Amino acid sequence: MEMTEKEEVVSKNFIEQIIEKDLQEGTYDTVCTRFPPEPNGYLHIGHAKSILLNYGLAQEYHGEFHMRFDDTNPTKEKTEFVDSIKEDIQWLGADWKDHLYFASDYFQQMYEGAIKLIKKGKAYVCDLTPDQIREYRGTLTEPGKNSPYRDRSVEENLALFEEMKNGVYADGEKVLRAKIDMASPNINMRDPIIYRVAHVSHHNTGDQWCIYPMYDYAHPVEDAIEGITHSICTLEFEDHRPLYDWVVRELEFEKPPKQIEFAKLYLTNVVTGKRYIKKLVEENIVDGWDDPRLVSLAALRRRGFTPESIQKFVSLCGVSKADNSVDYAMLEYCIREDLKQKAPRFMAVTDPLKLVIDNYPEDSIEYLDAPNNMENEALGSRKLPFGRELYIEREDFMEEPPKKYFRLFPGNEVRLMNAYFVKCVSFEKDENGNVTVVHCTYDPETKAGSGFTGRKVKGTIHWVCAKTAIEAEVRLYDNIIDEEKGVYNEDGTMNINENSLEVRKAFLEPAFSAAKPGDKYQFVREGFFCVDTRDTTQDRLVLNRIVSLKSSFKLPK
pLDDT tens for each residue of 261-280? 999 988 888 888 788 888 89
User: What per-residue confidence (pLDDT) applies to 6?
Assistant: 42
The model's confidence at residue 551, banded by pLDDT at 50, 70 and 90, is: low
Do residues 260 and 18 make contact, with C-beta atoms less than 8 angstroms apart? yes
The pLDDT value given to residue 4: 43
E strand or H helix at 58: helix 45-60
- Quick one: residue 269, left, alpha or beta (phi over 0 = left, psi -120 to 50 = alpha)? left
Q: What is the predicted pLDDT for the residue at 489?
A: 80
What pTM, to 2 d.p., does this model score?
A: 0.90
- Separation of alpha carbons 18 and 492, rounded Å: 39
- Is the pLDDT score of 546 beyond 60? yes
d(CA 416, CA 388): 13
Q: What is the mean predicted confidence (pLDDT) over 506-521?
A: 97
Predicted local confidence at residue 2, as pLDDT: 43
- What's 185's DSSP letter? S
Is the confidence at residue 3, as pLDDT, over 80?
no
More confident call, 486 vs 110 = 110
Q: What is the DSSP string of 112-180?
A: HHHHHHHHTT-EEEE---HHHHHHHH--SSS-----TTTT--HHHHHHHHHHHHTT-S-TTT-EEEE-S
- Whether 107-212 and 345-469 share one fold: the answer is no
Beta partners for residue 472, in sequence order: 506
Domain boundaries, the chain: 107-212, 274-339+473-508+515-548, 345-469
Q: What is the mean pLDDT of the chain?
A: 93
Give the mean model confidence (pLDDT) for residues 6-32.
86
Asked whether residue 1 carries a pLDDT value surpassing 60, the answer given is: no
CB contact burial 486-513 (16+ within 10 A = b; e otherwise): ebeeeeeebebbeebbeeeebbbbbbbe
Orientation of helix 307-317 relative to helix 79-92, angle to 10°: 80
Strand 193-197 to strand 175-178: parallel, antiparallel, or no bridges (unpaired)?
antiparallel
What pLDDT score does 272 carry? 81
552 has a pLDDT exceeding 80: no
CB 266 within 8 A of CB 49: no
| 101 has a pLDDT exceeding 60 | yes
Q: How far apart are CA 299 and CA 292, in angstroms?
A: 5
Strands (E), 418-478: 421-429, 435-443, 460-461, 464-465, 470-477
What's the pLDDT tens digit per position in 435-454?
999 999 999 999 998 888 88
pLDDT tens for 278-311 read: 889 998 999 999 999 999 999 999 999 999 999 9
Identify the sign of the CA torsion 89, 53, 262, 66: positive
pLDDT at position 279, please? 87
Please say whether the beta carbons of 328 and 80 come within 8 A. no
The residue among 497, 508, 515 whose CA lies nearest residue 473 is 508
Direct distance between the N- and C-terminal alpha carbons of the chain, in angstroms, rounded to an integer: 33
Q: How far apart are CA 46 and CA 355, in angstroms?
A: 47
Percent of the chain with pLDDT over 90: 86
Q: Can you spell out the DSSP letters for 195-263?
A: EEE----BTTTBTS-SEEE-HHHHHHHHHHHHT-SEEEEEGGGGGGHHHHHHHHHHTT-SS--EEEEE-
* Amino acid at position 83, single letter: D
**CATH 3.90.800.10 matches 107-212:** yes
Cβ neighbours, 10 Å, residue 411 = 8
For residue 312, what are the CA distances in angstroms to 193, 233, 351?
Answer: 41, 21, 33
pLDDT at 495: 87
The CB density around residue 335, as the number of other CB atoms within 10 Å, is 24
Q: 69-92 in b/e burial notation, b at 16+ Cβ within 10 A?
A: bbbbbbeebeeebbebbbebbebb
Give the mean pLDDT of 497-517.
96
pLDDT of residue 553: 58
Separation between Cα atoms, residue 405 and residue 461, nearest integer Å: 12
Phi-psi region of 526 (alpha: psi -120 to 50; beta: other; left: phi over 0): alpha
Model confidence at 398: pLDDT above 50:
yes
Return the minimum-mean-pLDDT range out of 10-14, 202-206, 504-508.
10-14
**pLDDT of res. 323:** 81
Per-residue pLDDT tens over the stretch 173-196:
999 999 999 999 999 999 999 999
Nearest to 248, CA basis, from 221, 266, 218: 221
Judge whether residue 151 has pLDDT over 70. yes
Q: How many Cβ atoms are within 10 Å of 444's Cβ, its own excluded? A: 11
- Residue 269: its pLDDT value, please? 82
Beta bridge partners of 35: 67
Q: Which CATH superfamily is domain 274-339+473-508+515-548 in?
A: Glutamyl-trna Synthetase; Domain 2 (1.10.1160.10)
pLDDT tens, residue by residue, 314-347: 999 999 998 888 999 999 999 999 999 999 999 9
Architecture of the domain whose range is 345-469: Beta Barrel (2.40)
Task: Say yes or no to pLDDT of 527 above 50.
Answer: yes
Judge whether 359 and 441 are in contact, CB under 8 Å. Answer: yes
Looking at residue 557, its pLDDT comes to 58
